[in-house]
A and B are shown apart, each in its own frame.
Chain A
């Protein structure tokens, strides 16, 4: 019994072969990126795919000779979404020479903001963390690098306005998890409600969102024209299911970025027609993903199960590392080795119109804008895949930047 258990375990391990191949990279000082993420607690719905995408992209870079000869090394640790474990992992990674850190956890990255600013380590906070970190002058070492939740709300509202029959006079429901993250889009949507004359009502459901029925019967009574769902993980599936149970048609449901293939699989046919914001294109048809399949996965050097390659969250992971590697490349070209947190930051700020061969909207950063323009698009689940229904766009960045300025000023004043 014991033996079969052990051999089963070993079999499972060898099936998921690990071990970065740095074979064809010349011996130069490696560039270290710390991916200290939550593999075991709250963010598990995306961490595996996201991290796999990040590691696979770094392996692709190494397979192609690294960054000007410098191999890129990923330091991966589990933080279980606990700030104290994140801080320990961060201090350790910093000691090992990491110049970039990605926690993929809002609590941990919030707790680390002051430290990275002091230690001059670049922290990327794609789709998590503080939205006001887009303010480059206040947060020189923090890069949200993708549309903040404010920008996502603005894009969804703009989509309703331009393509779903306008906002004026409509009733929009925001159904969100009762947490700071769930509340984040409220100020932007309130400003838009004033500007466009629509009615907005926010409905909160208690964390972690596995039980929402009471909230949705309120939503039904409100009879909204469009519903924005703002949660993450399994709570999103519950939201869609409850919405449909309460007579809301799938095509009237618009989601924050956290809705993916796995959710659609669980919901089956009910999901067809639901729309979401997306920051990065999903699928395997993109040149970068094809390159990973050919040069990394086909050689048996992928960092996880092959079926994940090309999923929404996998591609988001690839996109984060594509931007980070581009920044490191620019920094090494401009300032030379060794790469430090400070030169890497300057590298980020030089990125302009970078889209990783169509993987994502063209991003440009500057010393002031660390969000990259707040781009994204709306896509629709057609029963088998997410199909884009708009071009890459950004919307109402004036309102978004008012929020960013306001909160960043608060941070500067020590609020």
Chain B
């Protein structure tokens, strides 16, 4: 009913291979896009700069990681380090007077090159061993940033982002920052959707499913693994730069610590491995849920229905959050994206469920 499929006849390959063959999906997306574009007008400042903007930027990071972990099947537990390389490169380039557009490209390239060096380990090791190799990257990069004052910014280890212009528009004020973040996240989204339906994407999936089987059918695993590391690190580096410029506006080493890497992995896993919409849902879940729970609990405590210590209020969100992660993994191992997919499939034939099988 909502997703009306009758009367849709694809007579050309191009029509079937469209990103969204169903008109209902296109309408839904058009509505969401309009809302996203109008958000600065519709949303109060607080929700724009503290919820929507960080959510979009973390989604871009999760998308970069899902390309590597979900589509190419290479585990990466040091993705925050990739983002750190991007953030620090872009700041130092922008400080040196390089235009912001080029600084972003430089951030991506630096992250991609260093990411590839560690990714080269992926050519030899798999699974848990790859996790160790990427963990080593996390710690090495953090160590270098902390111990080289020229990178971290001296004794205070804080680098404020300089004022920059993107395409002649100065990046100041919540609205400009938000649109930059939105633009980057949408670009990542479209890129990933297109990778998934191209020969490159199918080759990556073949490598993920069994690399020697992929080699047998003529896909060079070495080349595609490196390609996955390069592309994903490039996107991750630019996401790190966007995070620095459009959200934090001051970069410290703690912003790209090991816990952030784990959060990113959690976003990809909870959202659904390899799913684009999963990256959105996962980033929202991991990033925003603790904030929402904290505020909800504080509101309930503010009603003073029963006396409760602040220490307990601070810890209840952690318990709920942990329980929710377990619940998601337990009830739907394929992640939030699969839950969305189930709902969509239900409505695809609603109200004539008997027609499905």
Contacts and interface: CB of A to CB of B under 8 A. Distances in A.
A210 to B, nearest CB: 15
Interface string A96-120: 0000000000110011011100000
B257 to A, nearest CB: 9
B248 A187 contact: no
Interface string B284-327: 00010011001100100100101111111111011000000000
B318 A16 contact: no
B146 A18 contact: no
Contacts of B147: 178
Nearest to B263: A82
B306 A14 contact: yes
Given A18-B309, A40-B314, A111-B252, A87 B155 contact: no
Interface string A247-268: 0000000000000000000000
B311 A48 contact: yes
Classify chain A: how many residues form its interface, as a range: 35 or more
Contacts of A80: 290
Interface stretch (A63-71, A354-362, A407-415): A407-415
B255 A107 contact: yes
B95 interface: yes
Interface string B249-264: 1101111000000000
Interface stretch (B43-51, B105-113, B130-138, B178-186): B43-51
Contacts of A187: 155
B249 A114 contact: yes
B11 to A, nearest CB: 49
B155 A180 contact: yes
Given A18-B309, A110-B157, A114-B160, 8 more contacts: A12-B312, A39-B315, A78-B317, A114-B249, A184-B155, A414-B95, A414-B162, A415-B160
Contacts of A88: 46, 50-51, 54, 291
Contact of A16 (B51, B158, B307): B307
6 contacts: A14-B307, A39-B310, A88-B51, A95-B46, A110-B250, A114-B160
A92 B318 contact: no
A214 interface: no
A316 B308 CA distance: 24
A321 B9 CA distance: 71
Nearest to B159: A415
The residue among B255, B309, B315 with the most chain A CB atoms within 10 A of its own CB is: B309
B170 interface: no
Interface in A385-415: 403, 407, 410-411, 414-415
Contacts of B306: 10, 13-14
Interface of B: 44-46, 49-51, 54, 95, 143, 146-147, 152-160, 162, 247-250, 252-255, 287, 290-291, 294-295, 298, 301, 304, 306-315, 317-318
Contacts of B160: 113-114, 411, 414-415
Contact of B247 (A76, A84, A107): A84
A89 B54 CA distance: 14
A231 interface: no
B289 to A, nearest CB: 11
Contact of B46 (A39, A91, A114, A403): A91
Contact of B248 (A18, A85, A111, A183): A111
B307 A130 contact: no
Given A17-B307, A414-B95, A407 B248 contact: no
Given A18-B301, A78-B314, A110 B158 contact: yes
A180 B291 contact: no
B255 A51 contact: no
B149 to A, nearest CB: 9
A132 B314 CA distance: 31
Contact of A179 (B146, B249, B311): B146
Contact of B156 (A17, A19, A87, A407): A407
Interface in A1-36: 10, 12-14, 16-19
Given A40-B315, A303-B310, A111 B250 contact: yes
A110 B154 contact: no
B156 A130 contact: yes
B156 A110 contact: yes
Contact of B308 (A18, A89, A107, A113): A18
A131 B154 CA distance: 12
A296 B340 CA distance: 52
Contacts of A76: 298, 310
A19 B307 contact: yes
Contacts of A114: 160, 249-250
The 5 closest A-B pairs by CB, nearest first: A16-B309, A39-B314, A180-B157, A78-B314, A107-B254
B304 A83 contact: no
A192 to B, nearest CB: 16
Nearest to A183: B155
A85 B295 CA distance: 11
A235 interface: no
Contacts of B253: 180
A77 interface: yes
Contacts of A304: 309-311
Contacts of A106: 254
A208 B240 CA distance: 25
Contact of A107 (B252, B287, B295, B318): B252
Contact of B155 (A18, A95, A403): A403
